[in-house]
Amino acid sequence: MEKFEIDIKWGSYFFIANMTISIIIVLLMFLINSYSLIYLYDFLIPVFIIQLIYFTVKAIIENNKYDLNKGFRKIFVFVRLLVFYYLLAMFPSSTTNDTNSSIFFLFLPYRKKDISELVEDDSNRDDEITLKEFMVRLKRSFPEHN
């Protein structure tokens, strides 16, 4: 296996485990008391950090098993797992067109004009030119510098 395959595997496990645990914590807190959701981040952030460390260690161990990590490159496993998680977490917000739904506006697909608006309708224009007209246009494009 290559190191990126291992990192993607453990990054996806991290994403699935984190989303599952987060949903369970939110549901439990909501069932206990809806006002306890104020303290939600006090529980989710430590759980996220513990899971990140656990899955990073697992990825490093598997990379070492295949001799893919040498020296200080082990820190990049942490970065790759975090980036992969970030991209997966931002994917649902990038599929919506509501710009207020996410503060990460760089991931939102947005285009100002439709493609049909950009294409001009030149169907009535005669595109046929003669060789003489082509040579005149070519000479105008490249003037002589004497």
Q: State the DSSP string of 70-124.
A: -GGGHHHHHHHHHHHHHHHHHHHHHT---TTS-S-GGGS---SS-HHHHS---TT
In whole angstroms, what is the distance from residue 50 CA to residue 22 CA? 13
Residue 108 has what pLDDT? 47
126 — alpha (psi -120 to 50), left (phi > 0) or beta?
beta
pLDDT of 94 = 55
- Per-residue pLDDT of the chain (146 residues), as tens digits, is 676 788 889 999 999 999 999 999 989 988 988 888 888 888 899 999 999 999 999 988 888 888 877 766 777 888 888 888 888 877 765 555 555 444 444 444 555 555 565 565 555 555 677 888 888 888 888 776 65
94, 109 in Cβ contact below 8 A? yes
Cα separation, 90 vs 108, whole angstroms: 9
Coil, helix or strand at residue 42:
helix
Per-residue model confidence (pLDDT) at position 41: 86
Q: If you search the block for the tokens 């509501």, which residue do you land on?
A: 98
Q: What is the pTM of this model?
A: 0.60
